[in-house]
Structure 1
């Protein structure tokens, strides 16, 4: 939509019209010998004259720069570029850059989740022969990226650090719940604490009575819904009831605690997907070919600061010239 501002260029005719002088009709003075000449009607001659041509030029430039600032143009100025995700292995990056022949290319370091979207946003800033290489642990996007130019992605999954999930079990049958966490695998480690604290991620409330009102946790697994009035209006998903409360998120299932390994894994997977969040999956290394059907990215505003500075300078100059004219 910003490009539509270029249709406003005809407004540059306004200062031209404003600075055009009015036509002046010259006065004819009769000479004594004019009575011997044939009588003719006087003629008018239209002459274009301009007042303050320097001020006119500045005002035209001011309007032109204003329109350009609103249109947000993009000038292709970037050459070969290597986008490196934050935390990527430096030795591996240097090896990949050398193999691609981009040792002298510009390097941009970005968070992994923003690498592909940043390329799409700034795509119009690269020259036609520029090569683009993305290195690092780039997460798999929800949809396949489409670029107007070829983009090569080389990925190296980051070794995930161990993550501790602190759990408090308030139950007369704690061993039944401890067996549940034996099905947990991967980099996440379940730590069962005796009492809740600031690091508690989950409280399993397997008691008939309600917990203390001051007890808080991000998530509660509840076996007795009567102890939590909020579950009376809970929504249900695959038999799992869930609701929000002042204590935290509440989950309830009538078949808890799980009685077999499959049910335990299903509950842990649900915890991972709905509450903790899915584990990131690294995008496979590949090259995205240029697509003619790629949508033109929105203007990135790369020149707006420069145009704004020019606009302010021209405005100050225009005001100075206009003031000097009136003196």
Structure 2
């Protein structure tokens, strides 16, 4: 092996990325704005017009000459070249700002969850990935969508190391322009003796005849003992803001229009489910249920319908770069340096225009 090969083999990926950083090209997130470049011809046309008028004086001997209509010849010539250049640069900077022109300047980056900042596991993962000199940034909340919107700020050869305690599976596989390595921290051991949390109160409204009300109370008392007593069902006769279920066990009668809840149980001729302005309604021919298996099935169906969705965990994996350049995104923002350049060029153009009038 030659000395040059040995030197290249001994360099870290971060060093190689820094060396090749001078070859990066600018990235445009809204390239259709570049079709507005012909607007740069307007200042050229404006400056090449002859706008100066020559003063005409009559000579005393001109009365002996035959009358002739005056003729003017328009001469195209450059005028106020510094002002012309300032206006051209101002329009070019404006189009670049609208096209979200960005210079990718960031290198290898470690996205780390704040809870893992000081953990030995995170330091070990950074060293094993060869990204000890990489920049560290806090882990965004919506990681994959955030990377798709902002990865134009990173150089093409940059890599991502993602350290998190867990990650939710996205609806679609991430297709990024940079390689990303997702590593998940090992699950922490559960505490030895965690105190039991008090049961959560769940408010229920029951409207039923007096002879059927004890059966509903017995049914919800049985539900309170389910799931290790994590929920306690509080029964009332009128709904409130916290009511999540209304039981209307009065066949042939309609509930008040002001009663509203996310879920209703009503007595009807057949089983069914329909959405009404007052809430989602489940119907059954006989309430309350007397069969233990039917009551258990109803309880499980109720809990599954009201349980908050939990994201499917995403396993640790290495994602290869699947795009040559970042996606053109309409919501991407132009960099701050381009806005400052636009403001400076506008000030210069105004100063030169004022100096020409003077």
TM-score by length of 2: 0.64
- The residue that corresponds to 1:245 in the other structure is 277
Aligned-residue CA RMSD (Å): 3.8
- The residue that corresponds to 1:315 in the other structure is 346
| Shift in alpha-carbon separation, 1:57–1:119, aligned structure 2, 3 A | same
- The residue that corresponds to 2:24 in the other structure is none
Query: Does 2:300 align with 1:268?
Result: yes
Deviation, structure 1 residue 64: 0.6
Could you tell me how far apart the structure 1 residues matched to 2:145 and 2:354 are?
A: 49
Q: Give the match's secondary structure for 1:51.
A: coil
Query: Does 2:182 align with 1:153?
Result: yes
- The residue that corresponds to 2:261 in the other structure is 217
| Shift in alpha-carbon separation, 1:278–1:128, aligned structure 2, 3 A | same
Deviation, structure 1 residue 132: 1.1
Tell me the number of residue pairs that the alignment of Structure 1 and Structure 2 aligns: 282
- The residue that corresponds to 2:170 in the other structure is 141
Q: 2:244 aligns with which of 178, 201, 208?
A: 201
Deviation, structure 1 residue 191: 1.7
- Name the stretch that deviates more: 296-305 or 69-78: 296-305
TM-score by length of 1: 0.69
Matches within 5 A, 1:34-183: 50-84=78-112, 89-90=115-116, 95-101=121-127, 102=131, 104-111=134-141, 114-134=142-162, 135-155=164-184, 164=200, 166-168=202-204, 170=206, 171-174=213-216, 175-180=218-223
Runs (5+) with no aligned partner, structure 2: 1-28, 51-74, 191-195, 207-212
1:21-55 residue CA offsets vs partner (Å, 9 max, x unmatched): 76xxxxxxxxxxxxxxxxxxxxxxxx985321210
Could you tell me how far apart the structure 1 residues matched to 2:325 and 2:200 are?
A: 43
Could you tell me how far apart the structure 2 residues matched to 1:14 and 1:21 are?
A: 11
Could you tell me how far apart the structure 1 residues matched to 2:304 and 2:35 are?
A: 53
Could you tell me how far apart the structure 2 residues matched to 1:301 and 1:197 are?
A: 44
Could you tell me how far apart the structure 2 residues matched to 1:129 and 1:93 are?
A: 28
Q: Is the 8 A contact 2:102 2:335 kept in 1?
A: no
Deviation, structure 1 residue 121: 1.4
| Shift in alpha-carbon separation, 1:257–1:308, aligned structure 2, 3 A | farther
- The residue that corresponds to 1:40 in the other structure is none
Could you tell me how far apart the structure 2 residues matched to 1:140 and 1:256 are?
A: 41
Could you tell me how far apart the structure 2 residues matched to 1:210 and 1:54 are?
A: 82
Q: Is the 8 A contact 2:224 2:233 kept in 1?
A: no
- Name the stretch that deviates more: 252-261 or 133-142: 252-261
Deviation, structure 1 residue 92: 7.6
Q: Give the match's secondary structure for 1:173.
A: helix
Deviation, structure 1 residue 94: 5.7
Q: Give the match's secondary structure for 1:19.
A: helix
1:59-94 residue CA offsets vs partner (Å, 9 max, x unmatched): 110111011012111221222223345xx6336866
Q: Give the match's secondary structure for 2:101.
A: coil
- The residue that corresponds to 2:5 in the other structure is none
Runs (5+) with no aligned partner, structure 1: 23-46, 227-235
| Shift in alpha-carbon separation, 1:219–1:266, aligned structure 2, 3 A | closer
1:149-196 residue CA offsets vs partner (Å, 9 max, x unmatched): 21122335799x9783614262441323444565547xx932211335
Q: Is the 8 A contact 1:168 1:200 kept in 2?
A: yes
Q: Is the 8 A contact 2:203 2:233 kept in 1?
A: yes
